[in-house]
Structure formats: structure tokens, C-alpha cells
Amino acid sequence: MHNLRPDLKRACTMAYTPSLPSFAAIVVAAGKGLRVGGQIPKQFRNWQGKSLIRYSVEALSEAGASPIAIVVADGAQDLASEALVGINGVIFTHGGDTRQQSVLNGLVALEQSKPANVLIHDAARPHLSQDVIARLVSALEEHSGAIPVLPVVDSLAVAGDGDVMAGAAEREALRRVQTPQAFRYMHILAAHHAWSGEKIAGDDAQVLQARGESIALVEGDERLKKFTFAEDFVQTGSAPFRIGQGIDVHRLVDGEELWLCGVQIPHDKGLSGHSDADVALHAITDAVLGAIGDGDIGTHFPPSDSKWAGARSAQFLEHAVKLAHDAGYALGNIDLTLICEAPKIGPHRSAMREAVAAIIGLDEGAISIKATTTERLGFTGRGEGIAAQAIVSLQRL
Ligand code: MG
């Protein structure tokens, strides 16, 4: 390494990646994620094609973490299993009343495998790089703990009563702390056991530091920020609006019920198909899936799967709306056209709008249902089937 320019010396150091000491990991995913909004906790929401938690668990797995204990709230186990399917070495354990108790549960879940080291991470920080993991684990050779930190760049004010500045703080001595935080396993386990009954801990480093142990500060990563608000899920540059369209056709036959937009329509024939053959809801469902670029109704509910035989089509649409929500979009409006000679749609229009509004949770004013004939031309004109076309708009949450 002698006689190298400093920049080349740095490049050589970075290219050398020694194998890391072995370590296990805990990913805390027990939070309710209420600040983000949405129907499911933020750590299980879809973000750019994957569940948020999957990003960091994949990064930990790639770095060699084993086992990886996932701490989940009661009732969220199915969401967690689905989000992490196919990743080896993952085990699940229950969350506690506080974050500190959740971490302790995770540490106890690792007791059988007795790891030398453990990384403890928040599920809502997806951008976990291999470099950060390597810096943390390497620091454990000399310290009981290691945490990723960033400098404070803004100046700091101390707030007094009535929102008046009471003084200033020295930013030079302060650091912003991220996760994962790395520890020698037996040390952090003992510290968490001893902490029981203490005030709520800010993080695991505070629990270990309270026992006077040495915790290294290593370089963090600005991209490792925690997803806190709904805006964090919005992909930079993603469109504020999206449009989708869907088309469907079903055959009219004797002896079947006729369902349109979730409403049963009295008619001498009905639509045949694998589900309830609601051609209108199928077209709307495909339009929603089209707007988020997530396949079509056949991808999500294959006709080859017997569990969808006779299914209510409302559940297909409900699922598509949920997928759109997970992708960060809410429905704006729907414009549906039914194409048939009979039955007459007009007398049922209001009931159909009401039914679609109830399925989607949208105002009836945002749902248009139109009908046309094809002047007795073609299969719709001959009464052999009904066709439906839907266009939907989505707006960013
Ligand atoms: Mg269909």
C-alpha cells in the first residue's frame, strides 16, 4: 500500500471485502404504521413492486444474516409470511407492548441458534446497503455495539415555553441515529433483560449504553431513512394520475342468472362464465389493474382455479382497488359502457351505480354507467352476448 496516491489507496481499501463475522438479525415489524394511512401497516405495503419489509430482509439475507427473526404484531403473521415468501432462514415471533419488549422477544427467539452478533433493524427502512452492514459488523470486532449515524447539518434551537427560542445546541457533538444497530448478542440480550421496568427506550443502543458498554459510531446512509408518511411511498416522478381501460364479453344463455354491476337483473337469459359472469364488474376490474400495470383479471383470478367457480365478481373489483391502493393510488372516476340489445339498462342504472359505489367506497357522482346497442349488428345485436367497456382514472394518494 506504500507510495499510492491517497485516492488510489482508498479505492484499493474499498475493493477489498473480507468475509464478515457471522451474525443473525432481528427485523422489528410490529408497528401499526398509522401515520402513513392505508388499510395495512406500512411495513407490509407494496412499494415499487415489493412489500416494504422485503427490501431490508433481502439485503440482510444477501449479507449472510442467519437466522432472521421477524417480530410481528398478533394478526399480522399472514401478511409477513406472504411478504417474505422464498427467503431462507426467516423465523417469526410476536411483538410486545413496547418496541423494547418486541426486540427482547426477537432476541429470545434467537437464543437456540446462539449467534455471536446480531443486527436489529426497523422494517420501514428499505434502503439497506451491503456497505452499511459491513461497516457495522466489522466494528463489533472492537466494540460491544455499533450504530449508523449521520451528521446534523442544520443549526439547532432549543424550544422554550410558548414556542420561543430558549437557547442553541452544539450540533458538532450530535449525530442522527439510524438502524440497523449491531451488537454482540450476549451483551444486548443481557442489557434488554436488565432494562425491564425502565422508561421506554429510544433505541437499542441506549439500552446497551446504559450499562456503560462501548458503542462505535459508523457512517450511516442518507438513503436509509425511515418511511413515515404516505409521501414516502410515492416514487419520485410517478404520475399524479393514471388511466386504465378494460373490455369484457360474456355469452347470453338460457337458464343462467343475469348479474350486472353486482345487481341481479330480471331477464329471460343470463350470462355464462366461470364466476357470476358479471361482465360489467370484470371490465371495471381490468381497467383498474390496467391503470396500475398489474396484469389482468385472469392473472389474479385464473378460471383454472376452482375456488373462483361461481364467485361474486365484487370481490375481484375489491381486490383490484386494494392493489391500486397499495401502489399508492385511489380511484378517481369510472366510465362504463354496456353494449347489448336487451335488457334495457336504464331502469337499473341507479341501482347499479349504487352497488358499484358501495364496492369501491366512491361517491355515486364519480360513477357513470351508459348503455348502447349496436343497431342489431354483430353478436351483441343478435342477443348472443353482452359486452362491456370501462375506463377508470386513478389519482395519487
Ligand atoms: Mg369476464
* Residue-wise pLDDT tens digits, 21-33: 899 999 999 877 5
Using a CB cutoff of 8 Å and minimum separation of 24, what contacts does 307-312 make? 308/274, 308/275, 309/274, 309/275, 310/275, 310/276, 311/275, 311/276, 312/262, 312/275, 312/276
- Spatial separation of the C-alpha atoms in residues 230 and 245, rounded to whole Å: 26
- Bridge partner list, 119: 25, 182
pLDDT at 10: 47
363 C-alpha to ligand 1 centroid (Å):
25
For residue 345, report the distance from its CA to the centre of ligand 1, in Å. Answer: 19
Burial class (CB in 10 A: 0-12, 13-18, 19+), 1: exposed
Whether the Cβ atoms of residue 263 and residue 352 lie closer than 8 Å to each other: yes
Ligand 1 center to 81 CA (angstroms): 31
What's the 242 CA to ligand 1 centre distance in angstroms?
Answer: 23
- Cα 277 to ligand 1 centre (Å): 6
CA of 281 to the centre of ligand 1 (A): 8
What separation in Å is there between the alpha carbon of 249 and the centre of ligand 1? 6
Strand locations in the chain (E):
24-29, 46-47, 50-51, 68-72, 90-94, 117-122, 145-151, 156-159, 165-169, 175-177, 181-184, 215-219, 241-253, 259-260, 263-264, 270-272, 329-339, 367-372, 385-396
Q: How far is the CA of 248 from the centre of ligand 1 (A)?
A: 5
- Tell me the CA–centroid distance for residue 273 and ligand 1, in Å: 7
State the distance from the centre of ligand 1 to the C-alpha of 328, rounded, in angstroms: 26
Q: Could you say which residues of the chain have pLDDT below 70?
A: 1-18, 33-39, 197, 230-231, 233-238
Lookup result for grid cell 441515529:
177
Cell of 211: 450499562
Q: How far is the CA of 173 from the centre of ligand 1 (A)?
A: 64
Separation of 368 CA from ligand 1 center, angstroms?
Answer: 20
**What span, in angstroms and rounded, lies between the C-alpha atoms of 52 and 49?**
9
The predicted pLDDT at position 16 comes to 45
Predicted local distance difference test score (pLDDT) of residue 5: 52
If DSSP codes are grouped into helix, strand and coil, which group holds residue 209? Answer: helix
* Cα-to-centroid distance, 392 and ligand 1 (Å): 17
Q: How much distance in Å is there from the Cα of 310 to the middle of ligand 1?
A: 12
Answer whether 0.85 is exceeded by the pTM: no
362 CA from centroid of ligand 1 (Å): 23
Distance CA 205, CA 334 (A): 51
Q: Rounded to the nearest whole angstrom, what is the distance from the C-alpha of residue 272 to the centroid of ligand 1?
A: 9
Question: Are the CB atoms for 280 and 261 separated by under 8 Å?
Answer: yes
Q: What is the CA(313)–ligand 1 centre distance, in A?
A: 9
Residue 248: how many CB atoms within 10 A of its CB?
25
CA–centroid distance, 351 to ligand 1, in Å, is 21
Residue 292 alpha carbon to ligand 1 centre in Å = 19
Compute the distance from residue 308 Cα to the ligand 1 centre, in Å. Answer: 12
User: Which is nearest to 277 in space by CA: 305, 314, 246, 304?
Assistant: 314
Identify the pLDDT of residue 309: 80
Ligand 1 centroid – CA 336 distance (Å): 14
Distance 284 CA to ligand 1 centre (A): 10
The CA–CA distances, whole Å, from 136 to 21, 24, 213, 304 equal 11, 13, 16, 49
Closest CA to 145 of 197, 206, 193, 63: 206
Give the pLDDT score at 204.
95
Using the CB atoms, write b or e for 288-311: b if 16+ within 10 Å.
Answer: bbbbbebebbeeebeeeeeebeee
Distance 280 CA to ligand 1 centre (A): 8
pLDDT at 37 (0 to 100): 52
Distance in Å, CA 282 to ligand 1 centroid: 5
* Per-residue confidence (pLDDT) for residue 332, from 0 to 100: 95
